[in-house]
Chain A
Amino acid sequence: MLRLVAARLGLGIVSLLLVSLAIFAITSLLPGDAAEELLGQYATRETVAGLRAQLGLDLPGHVRYLHWLGGLITGDFGRSLANGVPVAQLIGSRLPNSLMLAAATAAVSVPLALTIGITAAMWRGGAYDRAVSMLTLSVVSVPEFLVATAAVIVFAVHLRWLSALSAATDITSVAQFFRVFALPVFSLCCVIIAQMVRMTRAAIIDQLRAPYVEMAVLKGVGPFRVVLRHALPNAIGPIANAVALSLSYLLGGVIIVETIFNYPGIAKLMVDGVATRDLPVVQACAMIFCAAYLVLVTTADVVAILANPRLRHR
């Protein structure tokens, strides 16, 4: 089993290396290099050559890639071209905000989604199950900018219960934490809960149709025990995958929510970076998104391995 887990982790690292190569290659293909971008309309041949040497852009591509990779491993992401601040510092000020938003959303959405999904599976075909199905289907089809804007108009503008902006810098108390995070978390939850509920329900129903569940029922096991003790452990693999996929959405796909609530997160930083051609920032953000995605997917893999007795005991 250990070997299986190690193999998964190794694969993750190899994918990350390939991704870094792809990111570096694609961003290098963009027209104009950093020296020309920095000098703008005052670029002369001499100043461009001088700045290139200064930035190390005159070296061949593979050498620059190794430099960049070496920097990444030692935590040195380079400096932002837009304002000269170290990229690590820029990301350092934004990443905790994004992680906090993601963590708050995960803490609310995962338990809620699992509970709804499992109960829907238990009473499948009933009125409750049909209501859940209809609701999740309709929520999943509504784009989150609509959910977010509607929520702002109702709860912030008309009722005045909550804040229309989410400046993560202002939090000093638990009440403020709720005020700041309630609306963004609500908007994000709408999208990802629906996904997770549907996947959880499907996975459990799949198990409930299996002969061993029928056997358990015939032996007189109650409905709760059948689901929690017998069906759920076997459904953990697919459920973990569904959760990981939904949560990975929180890392990169929150740009709309960050825009509407003016939340200073990392997705907004990356979009800014693209607009100002700040390649070190773009590269670093892209790496972080890919790394986080890989971590989530690998975790789901490992959980699936650990939850499967056939794999666990090999």
Chain B
Amino acid sequence: MTKRTDGPLAMLGAADEARVLDAVRRGASRREMLAMLGAGGMAAATAGGILGAAGQAVAQEPRRGGRIRVSGTSTSTSDTLDPAKQSLSTDYARCNMFYNGLTTFDGSLTPQPALAESWEQDRATVWTFKLRRGVTFHDGKPLTSEDVVFSLNRHKDPATASRARSLAMPMQEIVATGPNEVRITLDAPNADLPVVLATFHFHIIKAGTTDFATAIGTGPFLCREFQPGVRSIGVRNPNYWRENKPYLDEVEFIGIPDEQARVNALLSGDVQLIGGVDPRSVRRIQQTQGYSVFETKSGYYTNLIMRLNEAPGNNPDFVLAMKYMFDRAQMRTAILRNYGVIGNDQPIDPTNRFYFPGLPQRPFDLDRARFHFQKSGVGSTTLPVVCSPAAPNSVDMAQVLQQTGQRIGMNLEVRRVPSDGYWSNHWFKHPIGFGSINPRPSADILLTLFFKSDAAWNESAWRNPQFDQLLGAARAETDEAKRRQMYADMQVMIHNESGIGIPVFQSLLDGHSSKLKGLGAIPVGNLMGFDFAQHVWLES
């Protein structure tokens, strides 16, 4: 049995957090801090983080008030306020203004309490969530377990057409065990249930809601206007359950699909925050006075795919030669303008709590590449590499690879195909090609979708029964240290055997007015993991 308690900062209780931050502001030293935390039984490791957070708090006290306009990267008439139907990043950002989930993500994607104050589990199968008391919906109705049961159960109903149906189906039984308690019984152990519940489709709505013309949630903003394809306006929820939040009086959210137009809108002062900035626009934003770029390091990557079930990928020496041919540092500098982290052919990135740092970095080594390439006997055959603007930066990566290949006698041919239909017609349908993977909320979801032997999107057709077994065991394991070891083993297997090459992890970039403060990195996506609205504030 494990138990989590309240607190947006690490695992401190709300009261503790206030006490500690207050002490720091009054000038408590690091030594005093450690003593204080020691008294509370907290790990020393937490202290650094809190001192950092409080340090900013000393420098600048969040100011209340103000109005901002924010632009996401898309907008259309299919914009929605129905949590079950969210499909684009702009839907996530909009719904996070009006709703909360039971849990929420922090900077390492560890689930933290939100509408659920705490939770307990038994063998990762039977989960009991205690709801926060005193939370009300925007129309004044108090939050009860009935609302939670309704919000979760509706995903299983085919008529809801929920995009999270496959995640909801394992929740065999969802029942209220009291006015403020909900029990979820899974059909198989899953230690990541709190992570699943932090994904945005599982936002909590009022029991019986069927009309989504407006949003009645528990979130930081009240929905004043919603016009699909045009804009959404939220005004501050005076009864929000998080103390002092949100800071802004009003947020208008729009979508500008064209990147240039989005950057222009920012620089002309029409919007104060934009998501989805191309690394090429960064210098332009930074050179304009009064504007900055915010970087979120994330697990977003564009990867080389070598199909292991057909030539030339069925030759392990060829695959290894390709992996040694990645000039990762050059790709990071030239393609990503340094907004990224060098990858090591392991799909879990350093921001994730299950990243395995002990894996030796695979170097850019032409001698070894030449050795393995000659051993593979592929010779001077022309090898087409399929790339497309649909997989961002894949065309540039293919060209770098082609030039490197010439130096060891490998004859790669860059075959560029259009974006339209790439994912259905080309993605992992050629012996050598590219894919692009968005950040996923958990290691389990990522590995299950893309690396399990029978996964529909097993890009390189890599099959390893031992890996599958380990994946299932890690899902059921509740001991964090043991899980970390299992995920480390799986990352080593992928690094050594799979047909996937991950040269770099790409950062997510937002542009904002320098007056806008409080942005942080939550690597599920741009705009502070789509949850900026309740955290940001405007300098006077």
Contact = CB atoms under 8 A, between A and B. Distances in A.
Interface of A: 38-40, 42, 47, 80, 82-83, 85, 90, 93, 149, 152-153, 156-157, 160, 162-165, 167, 169, 259-262, 264, 268-269, 272-273, 275-276, 278, 281
Nearest to A81: B78
A157 B310 CA distance: 53
B163 to A, nearest CB: 9
Contacts of A278: 77-78
Given A42-B161, A163-B270, A83 B264 contact: no
B117 to A, nearest CB: 34
A308 to B, nearest CB: 45
A169 B232 CA distance: 12
Interface in B268-284: 268-271
Contact of A157 (B77, B158, B255, B264): B264
Contacts of A85: 77, 228
B229 A268 contact: yes
B77 A93 contact: no
B387 interface: no
B430 to A, nearest CB: 25
Contacts of B265: 164-165, 262
Contact of A262 (B78, B158, B254): B254
Contact of A164 (B79, B228, B257, B261): B261
Contacts of B56: none
Given A40-B161, A47-B158, A262 B268 contact: no
Given A273-B77, A276-B78, A169 B257 contact: no
B267 A262 contact: no
Contacts of B270: 156, 163-165
A162 to B, nearest CB: 8
Contacts of B271: 165
Given A42-B161, A163-B268, A83 B80 contact: yes
Given A259-B258, A264-B229, A160 B77 contact: no
A81 to B, nearest CB: 9
Contacts of A80: 77
A156 B80 contact: no
Contacts of B257: 259
Interface string B233-276: 00000000000000000000011111011001101111100000
Nearest to A156: B268
Nearest to A261: B261
Interface in B68-92: 71, 75-80
B535 interface: no
A149 B259 CA distance: 12
B29 to A, nearest CB: 47
B229 A153 contact: no
A156 B271 CA distance: 12
A288 to B, nearest CB: 15
Candidate in B77, B79, B258, B270 with the most chain A CB atoms within 10 angstroms: B77
The 6 closest A-B pairs by CB, nearest first: A156-B268, A164-B268, A82-B78, A272-B76, A264-B230, A157-B267
Contacts of A38: 161
Contacts of A153: 264
Q: Indicate the size class of the contact surface on chain B.
A: 20 to 34
A157 B285 CA distance: 11
B165 interface: yes
Given A149-B260, A262-B71, A272-B78, 14 more contacts: A83-B77, A83-B78, A83-B228, A157-B267, A163-B270, A165-B256, A169-B230, A260-B261, A262-B75, A262-B255, A264-B227, A276-B76, A276-B77, A278-B77
B231 interface: yes
Candidate in B75, B229, B231, B258 with the most chain A CB atoms within 10 angstroms: B229
A160 B228 CA distance: 29
Contacts of A268: 229
Interface of A is mostly: helix
Nearest to B228: A83
A135 to B, nearest CB: 26
A90 B78 CA distance: 12
A69 to B, nearest CB: 24
B157 to A, nearest CB: 10
A261 to B, nearest CB: 7
Contacts of B258: 259-260
A157 B268 CA distance: 4
Given A42-B165, A157-B267, A164-B270, A275 B228 contact: no
A269 B229 contact: yes
B424 to A, nearest CB: 13
B261 A262 contact: yes
A38 to B, nearest CB: 8
Nearest to B266: A164
A11 B267 CA distance: 51
B229 A259 contact: no
Nearest to A165: B270
Nearest to A93: B227
A124 B303 CA distance: 63
Contacts of B267: 157, 164
A261 B228 CA distance: 17
Given A42-B165, A165-B271, A259-B258, A275 B76 contact: yes
Nearest to A277: B78
Contact of B77 (A47, A156, A259, A281): A281
Contacts of B165: 42
A260 B254 CA distance: 14
Contacts of B79: 83
21 contacts: A42-B165, A80-B77, A83-B79, A83-B80, A90-B77, A156-B268, A160-B268, A160-B269, A164-B261, A164-B264, A164-B268, A165-B254, A165-B265, A165-B270, A167-B231, A169-B227, A260-B258, A262-B256, A264-B229, A275-B76, A278-B78
Contacts of B230: 93, 167, 169, 264
B161 A39 contact: yes
A122 B337 CA distance: 58
